[in-house]
Amino acid sequence: MPKPGAWRQSGRLRCHIAYHMTTQSPDTPCSCDCFVSLPPASAVPAVIFAKNSDRPRDEVQEVVFVPAGTHAPGSRLQCTYIEVEQVSKTHAVILSRPSWLWGAEMGANEHGVCIGNEAVWTKEPVGQGEALLGMDLLRLALERSSSAQEAVRVIAGLLERHGQGGSCREDPEPFCYHNTFLLADRTEAWVLETAGRLWAAQRIQEGARNISNQLSIGTDISAEHPELRTHAQAQGWWGGQGTFDFAQVFSLTQQPVRMEAAKARFRAGRELLQQQQGGITAEVMMDILRNKESGICMDSGGFRTTASMVSILPRDPTQPCVHFLTATPDPSRSVFKPFIFGAGAAQAPQVLSPTFGAQDPVRTVPRFQTQVDRRHTLYLGHQKALGLMEREQDQGQQLRQKQQDLEREGLEAASRLLVGEWAPPSRELGGLFQAFVERESQAYA
């Protein structure tokens, strides 16, 4: 059993990233970064998952709890743009999602499966036809899978049946991409990278791994689409003999600016993980997500980190998984709040955005011709807090200290829970996130 502090200890990251971010044009999206650590890279017997969601600067991200459900045979499910067949049972999930869409940027389910996605562009053309968004695929996999490996199979099957496509931002000008995914559970992680309906997957059983808006699977392929290599050969991208390197074969020869920038973030993220090998905790992951020098915590070119998530997935199945979510932008000035699945788990209303029904710009065609105010209560309070931090140094420092104290309390509660020093009833655990959201809202009021 690790010492209590091992679940949360962290030196400040000693990294002076020398990589230079590629110059961004105003409309150049930088997108996201995902991280995972497995023993022996983790300081504790647990898998640690983390993600920054980098999205259009004013986009609001909400945190949504969806309980487990049963569904009638033949039911249909409306995703962001298209309907798909519903399954008979779906798992409880906690999702961090852009509030205008159905899917999610990152999330977890009651079985300890976590998934984050990334935008990617490959030699396979990106169509503008509406299909499943990568964020839809992410939510569907969480609702339908009890392991990371099963989630890979679910996404692969949905890709084959429905494809991926549609605009990924709330704007009349379409912005489309394919997706890569980092999937983790209590025992292992998988990287799944796609190009249209094609895909390759890599299994990770130890150490640390990150992904950043580029293909990263080379020759170490654990599973793949049955037509992956024949398609590459038919297109003239691979000769059919010798080593098959997925990233080399499918990556664009001339990379767009956004992917050149992603290379620098990927190298920086890998370096930050390597510096902490054997000592990676949830707090270390939070520090990485807050690293501005590398661009991992970003605010440029009309995009910024709009929400963040870190999860502790203990190897011991009798211990609960703990998921920390911000529900607010800029993790360097936000609070990671703990969520634990339990009998008392419910939707925190302060982090749920307003809804607009059939009049929502995403529901009317042509889409996104108007704008609506999707800011939830915590988002509004946080925005006022950020303004105070920027205008009033003394008051801003006091408010930031309140944020840090609240987050530290959450980390310490998780630590005591995971070493057996605190054993509250399930209903109290399920209400933990709601309690921390309320306290953060009070701090801003």
- Match 């689409």 to its residue by tokens: 225
Rg (CA), the chain: 21
Residues 6+ apart with CB under 8 A from 242: none
Report the length, in residues, of the chain.
445
Alpha-carbon distance of 98 to 368, in angstroms, equals 14
Alpha-carbon distance of 147 to 141, in angstroms, equals 10
Residues 6+ apart with CB under 8 A from 255: 263
| Secondary structure (DSSP) of 66-112 | E--EE--TT-EEE-SSSEEEPPSEE--EEEEEETTSSS-SEEEETTS
Q: How many CB atoms lie within 10 A of CB 87?
A: 15
User: Is residue 288 within 8 Å of 272, Cβ to Cβ?
Assistant: yes
User: Is residue 244 within 8 Å of 224, Cβ to Cβ?
Assistant: no
| Secondary structure (DSSP) of 184-252 | E-SS-EEEEEEETTEEEEEEE-SEEEEE-SS----S--SEE-TTHHHHHHHTTS--SSS---HHHHHB-
Alpha-carbon distance of 182 to 313, in angstroms, equals 14
Output the CA–CA distances (angstroms, integers) from residue 333 to 12, 13, 397, in the order listed: 16, 17, 11
Q: What is the DSSP letter of 365?
A: S
Residue 259: phi, psi to the nearest 5?
Answer: -85, -30
Per the rule left: phi > 0, alpha: psi between -120 and 50, beta: everything else, 421 is alpha
Among residues 15, 30, 32, 321, which one is catalytic?
32
Would residue 32 show up in a list of annotated catalytic residues for this protein?
A: yes
Residues identified as active-site: 32
